[in-house]
Chain A
């Protein structure tokens, strides 16, 4: 190789080694291999040589060009890599810092419990019925075989509102959602299978009573519905609701004006641990019974043809038992800490497929 090419080669390689960043490297590249680079210049001069000389010189130049191209490329990658490393080093952050918080809300346990009840009874063919919170005394009491002098009608138990214009009888804030059942019986022909969850009101306020609370009542009317169906339906509900396939369920005779026979329903639990389904104690969770023939007749159904059962349960009470919530009043206090603690994710609605 000619001396001038050796010199060019050595100078270029030295300059490449000396280049520390992209600009310096690019200057070397352009200075040697660019349009007006040294090597390019030598290549342009080839045409002036005689053929033999041109061939040798051309081969030497081409070799050198390939060699330098490769060296430039390698050095280029080295500098690029170095620059990347420097950038990565400079961009380092304290990854232990918390990500910006996004506030997350929650679904109230009462709504959640109603959803769970709707899902379970829905699977048994019930639909959800609703009605007004303000009822006539007939809807709330008389239709349900609760006579006028019944203690439940006293001011100590029931909230009253002024009568409708032109009427004499004060209206009531419903003490139970049974008015919905009455409306349903008046409004549709059997078979009927509904639950009626909703707000209810009683004039009571202490540690275990709230002037407003929620009840879920149910009504099944058909031909041939027996007390056996009542038991089957409620046992299935309670076992799915509490997710305890072997939950002990006990039925005790009781009395309600609107059902006969009437019974209270207990589930097994442990008084000492509070655990549902274990232990030797019983906890009342439901009232139920076969719909009283007078209630059917009051709502226009012939009790000789139609019969069925009804039940009612406190939604807060069941929510407390299921979720271990100790205090009834906390449901309505809207304390953010409580809501966060007992609330449910918006993204897991109560479904039977995911489990209630």
Chain B
């Protein structure tokens, strides 16, 4: 992986977070806000995985191509990948709650427009 590609992934991750934040702040449809939230979530996960990358190395799974003795110079850091799994699962849980509360709020106000939900006005 070239250096340009390496930094472009960091840029993509930061861009996803910013686009998601932009969506959360400016969109009006409650489900679009939920979608924007998951975009930002994906960006954070991508940044975490990116931070564990080491140049020219493979996934931290021992198979026939990696010898047990040279493993510390053959694989990337497994810790961020394990942490990202946690982050993904929590993200799914929060997104599910988000959607359910959003649908209920839109039922109550008769519209999915957050401007018509008095409790959310800012």
Q: Do A and B come from one complex?
A: no
B→A interface (CB under 8 Å): none
